Structure 1
Amino acid sequence: MDVVLDVMLLGQRRFHELGLRTQVVLRQLPLNLTMIFVCGISALADRADFADAGFVISQLLALALLTACAAVPWERLPRWSFLAIPVLDFYPIGLLRFSDGDLLPGLGLLAVFPILWLAGAGYRPRTAVAFGAIATLLMVWTPHFMDGTANIHSLASELLTPFIMFVLGVATSISALSGRTQRKRIEELLDRSETRQQLLETIVDTVDVGVVVVDTVGDIVLMNAQQREIHQSALPEGLEAAREPELLVYADSSDELIEPKLRPAARAVAGEVISHELYRLGRGQRARTVSVSAGPFRDAGGEVAGTVLAFSDVTEVVAAIRARDTFLAAMSHEFRTPLTSLLGYAELLHEDASLSPAARADTLVMARNARHLNKMVDDILAAATPGAAELPRTPLDLAELTRDAVDSSTPDAARRDITVTFTDDGVLPVLGDRTGLVRVLDNLVSNALKYSGGGSTVTLRAKRDGQWAVLTVADQGIGIPPEDLKRIFTRFQRGSSALRSGIPGTGLGLALAREVAVRHRGELECVSELGVGSTFTLRLPLRGELGARS
């Protein structure tokens, strides 16, 4: 009874969620309630109806049908078997109308209940609608044949009720079919949505990236399995759970806890976009280094609905990079000491007057190769130095630095029979790191000489170009194939033409040169044609422009 009342009063339960027996009872109940209401009217208006056998039998039949609805195990019978109830309903309705037609002439409209039931059941709707209309017609015509009043006028006067029932049946059938189609479509969409949700959850739990989704107030909506493991590493020792302010979150190279409002989750909730920032979670052997990215997601209306944070565990990667840098730095320093000795003794031998010209030439070869090795060591040391370190900025003249680089290269150019020319537009004031820029200029000039043949010319031009100080270094050397231009500025990469030439190198010089240029907020570019030569262009902001950009 509680279920019946809940459904009738539009409560929590839905009709299609009920069992078949309960559904059958609820479909029959409106007719019985209406017939009980007729009993109440008869009791007030004309109690003589209760002495009429037909009146009493119709009420008893209706109650018997309601009892059958509740007693029969419809779930065990064929699905369509319950339609016997609305078919049988026409008999008590017709009997009630025949016995009490004078008091309530509209009792024939009670046929609407079985009509709606038959038409809305969805089982052969055309047959059900036709049967309902015919049953209603027989219900209103039969009394005329029984009492001998059947004629064209009396029968025609009763056609309105069957016609109304027919129209209601057709409308109900169409509505029911449409509703079933829509419900089936909705169920398919729900099934598809649930499948996609399960697929999404499986994917999110499978990837090796920690994912956290928070709403606009910072409450966690979703956390995948990988993130739960990462989260454990940030818990204080001895705790199995903790609030965000209690988690051990540090900057990558610091032992000071980050304030809660400056942590990735709080910043992301505040609307900040985070891209690949490094943090350390936890202490000791449990500590993990993570790369964090975060961005907002929007709902169907385009409004920000929360934030997605991705935590990549890069502990092993960071450890490997630091181990590599430490190794490179240590090995480079270990190489520097013997190289310095070799270079020094080679220069001392070269000054010895007792050496023959051939031996003196050998000392020059020794010194040249020692300097080459020393430059390689410098490149390796520069590669092992973190590129994000703050540059020591001092006022410099790019034209003067270039002139010094040209002067330093003159002996090497003379030995190679290469002409070096340099022109400038006067002072080109820049602000930057002298050591870094000198290394860039020396690399560009030495590369131009290294890859040029005897009798060629290397041309340097320093000029102003709007807000920039521009230096071009053009050679007439072997050139660079187009497929190699994209990777000549990548560490430890060398062009195929350079490899074929047999000219030694580490593949670090140009990569470090571009890094220095970028750290000075400048650019280093190259255009080249195989067999014709290459032109490298260095652009640096003029000193006043750099201050304006800061």
Structure 2
Amino acid sequence: MEKLMDVLLLGQVRFHELSMRGRVVLSQFPLNLTLLLVCVIAAIADPKVFTDARFLIGQGLELVILAVCVALPWDRIPYGLFLIVPLLDFGPISLLHYANGSSLNGLSLLGVFPTMWLAGSGIRPRVMVPLGGLAALLMVWAPLILAGTAAPNTLAAELLVPFLLLAIGIGTSVMTLSGMAQKARVEELLARTETRERLLNTVLDTVDVGVLVIDDHGQNTYLNAKERELYLAALPEGVETTLESELLIYRDGSEELLPAEQRPLARVLSGETIAHEVYRLGRGSEARTVSISGRQFADVAGDTAGTVLASTDVTEVVAAVHARDKFLAAMSHEFRTPLTNILGYAELLQDDASLSPAAKSDLQIMMRNARHLNHMVDDILAASLTGDEAGGIRLPLDLAELVKQTSDSFSPEASNSGIKLDLATETALPILGDRTGLVRVLNNLVSNALKYSQPGTTVHLAAREEGAWAVCEVADEGLGIDPEDLKRLFTRFQRSDAAVRAGIPGTGLGLALAKDVAEQHGGELECRSEVGVGSVFTLRLPLRKAKQHMTLS
């Protein structure tokens, strides 16, 4: 009874949550409640109606029907048999309709309750809706036929109410079937959503990335297994806390705890987006180095709905990088010392007048190969630098001047190889850049052009201004690059098949490093090439906004 009252008063309990008996009683109850109101109105408007046996019998039958609804164990009765109840309701309503005389009008409209019950059940609507209409017709015609007063005019006078009830039944059935279809669709979508949610949770607990989700109220709504593991690593010893400000979080390489406002979650909650920032969680051997990314996300209305933080454990990666750096530092020392000695003594030997021409030729080969080996060491060391390490210090430079100096440096080599090095510069090209990195890029482009060119050809070196760009172009008339090789030209350690077949030495690092340097300067490096015709490399760097007048020396 408590649940029935809760449903009637639009409380927390819903109709479909009731037992079968509760639903049957609740479906019958509105009619009985309306009949109670009819008794109150009759007592005020026409008390004589209580002397009419048909009125009393009709009211009594409806009470009996309600009592049957309460008494029968509908949960154990085959589903659908409860529709006998609304069909029985038409009988008492018929008695009430013909008992009222002229004092109470419209009691036949009480048939709307059983009509809506039949049509709204959703059970065999093509049968129940016409059956409800037929029952409504019998409700008004049967008493006339039994009383012998049935005539065309009296029967026609009673057609409006059955027709109205049939229309109500059709409308109720259409809305019920539509609601059932929508409910089925919603249930299907809910089932799919729950399945996807379980799949997502399983995936997030399986991947080796920590995920933390915070709602728009700052409450933790999801924490996967990996994030929980990283969280435990950041907990101070013997302390349990859910506050980020109390965790042991450091910048990588620092021993000072980060201030609360500089911690990743606090920054993302304030609206900042972070990407791949490295922190250290915890102290000692149990500390973990993590790469953290985070951002807020919006709901369908565009309002902030929460925050997502993703943490990747890069402890082993960082350790490997440190080991690599140590190895490269050692390799640099071990290689550079003997190379420096070789080149130094070779230069001294060059000045020895007693050397024969053949010995001097061998000495030139030795020096050329030593320099090549020295360049290879430089490339490998440059490839090991990333980010700020590779960026160097940005200073005001003139790209045209750098191009001219590069041309001067390679003129002897070009002349010795029988290649013409043509230089064309227009005006000063002021830029901001790392001189060491840009010189390495230009040297690499010109060196490659000479290596891949044949004697008697020309390498064109040009510097010019194009809009907001300072442009350097290196064009050769060499082997050219196959379209398939061109796709991976700027990939580290990749070399073209033509270069390998021709026996041209190289590490496959130079162009990849050159492109990295160009992009670190906000520029780009492109190549267009045709096999057997040659290649054109174009370096674009942004001109300085405050362009100063510079002259070539």
Q: Counterparts of 2:428 and 2:543 in 1: how far apart (Å)?
A: 10
Q: Counterparts of 2:232 and 2:222 in 1: how far apart (Å)?
A: 16
Conserved? CA contact 2:430–2:548, under 8 Å: no
Report the Cα offset of residue 23 of structure 1: 1.0
The 1:538/1:113 distance shift into structure 2, 3 A limit, reads closer
Report the Cα offset of residue 150 of structure 1: 5.3
Report the Cα offset of residue 544 of structure 1: 6.5
Q: Counterparts of 1:167 and 1:437 in 2: how far apart (Å)?
A: 86
1:180 aligned residue: 180
Q: Secondary structure at the match of 2:297?
A: strand
The 1:524/1:175 distance shift into structure 2, 3 A limit, reads closer
1:395-445 Cα distance to aligned partner (Å, 9 max, x none): 555555445444443443344333434454466555544433443343333
The 1:55/1:247 distance shift into structure 2, 3 A limit, reads same
Conserved? CA contact 1:97–1:108, under 8 Å: yes
1:244 aligned residue: 244
1:360-416 Cα distance to aligned partner (Å, 9 max, x none): 433332222222212222222222233423533455555554454444434433443
Amino acid at match of 2:440: R
1:480-510 Cα distance to aligned partner (Å, 9 max, x none): 3233334333332222222111121112233
The 1:352/1:7 distance shift into structure 2, 3 A limit, reads same
2:507 aligned residue: 506
Q: Counterparts of 1:481 and 1:489 in 2: how far apart (Å)?
A: 14
The percent identity for this pair of structures is: 59
Of the structure 1 ranges 317-326 and 129-138, higher mean CA displacement relative to structure 2 is found in: 129-138
1:320 aligned residue: 320
Amino acid at match of 1:420: L
1:209-261 Cα distance to aligned partner (Å, 9 max, x none): 33333344543343333333333333333334421212233333433333333
Count of aligned positions: 548
The 1:39/1:319 distance shift into structure 2, 3 A limit, reads same
Amino acid at match of 1:505: G
2:392 aligned residue: 391
Q: Counterparts of 1:476 and 1:214 in 2: how far apart (Å)?
A: 60
Cα root mean square deviation, aligned: 3.6
Q: Counterparts of 1:151 and 1:440 in 2: how far apart (Å)?
A: 110
Of the structure 1 ranges 529-538 and 327-336, higher mean CA displacement relative to structure 2 is found in: 529-538
Structure 2: segments with no counterpart, 5+ residues:
none
The 1:112/1:289 distance shift into structure 2, 3 A limit, reads same
Q: Counterparts of 2:182 and 2:398 in 1: how far apart (Å)?
A: 78
Do structure 1's residue 13 and structure 2's residue 4 form an aligned pair? Answer: no
1:52-98 Cα distance to aligned partner (Å, 9 max, x none): 76665544433332222112111222212112222333444445556
Report the Cα offset of residue 338 of structure 1: 1.7
Conserved? CA contact 1:522–1:541, under 8 Å: yes
Q: Counterparts of 1:539 and 1:161 in 2: how far apart (Å)?
A: 87
Report the Cα offset of residue 309 of structure 1: 3.3
Conserved? CA contact 1:217–1:269, under 8 Å: no
Do structure 1's residue 268 and structure 2's residue 268 form an aligned pair? Answer: yes
Structure 1: segments with no counterpart, 5+ residues:
none
1:292 aligned residue: 292
Q: Where do residues 399-438 of structure 1 align in structure 2 (5 Å cutoff)?
A: 399-425=400-426, 431-438=432-439
1:319-345 Cα distance to aligned partner (Å, 9 max, x none): 333332332232122111122222233
Q: Secondary structure at the match of 1:83?
A: helix
Conserved? CA contact 2:245–2:263, under 8 Å: no
TM-score by length of structure 1 reads 0.85
Amino acid at match of 1:79: Y
Of the structure 1 ranges 424-433 and 287-296, higher mean CA displacement relative to structure 2 is found in: 424-433
The 1:547/1:309 distance shift into structure 2, 3 A limit, reads farther
1:489 aligned residue: 490
Conserved? CA contact 1:109–1:161, under 8 Å: yes
1:267-305 Cα distance to aligned partner (Å, 9 max, x none): 333333333333333333333333333344332233443
2:83 aligned residue: 83
Q: Where do residues 361-376 of structure 1 align in structure 2 (5 Å cutoff)?
A: 361-376=361-376
The 1:461/1:179 distance shift into structure 2, 3 A limit, reads closer
Amino acid at match of 2:475: A
Q: Where do residues 185-334 of structure 1 align in structure 2 (5 Å cutoff)?
A: 185-334=185-334
Q: Secondary structure at the match of 2:75?
A: helix
Amino acid at match of 1:534: S
The 1:77/1:348 distance shift into structure 2, 3 A limit, reads same
Q: Counterparts of 1:268 and 1:89 in 2: how far apart (Å)?
A: 65
Q: Secondary structure at the match of 1:74?
A: coil
1:97-122 Cα distance to aligned partner (Å, 9 max, x none): 56665764654444443333233333
The 1:183/1:467 distance shift into structure 2, 3 A limit, reads closer
Q: Counterparts of 2:317 and 2:420 in 1: how far apart (Å)?
A: 47
The 1:168/1:414 distance shift into structure 2, 3 A limit, reads closer
1:4-55 Cα distance to aligned partner (Å, 9 max, x none): 2111122212222211111111122233334444555666678777777666
Q: Where do residues 33-72 of structure 1 align in structure 2 (5 Å cutoff)?
A: 33-40=33-40, 57-72=57-72
Conserved? CA contact 2:297–2:306, under 8 Å: yes
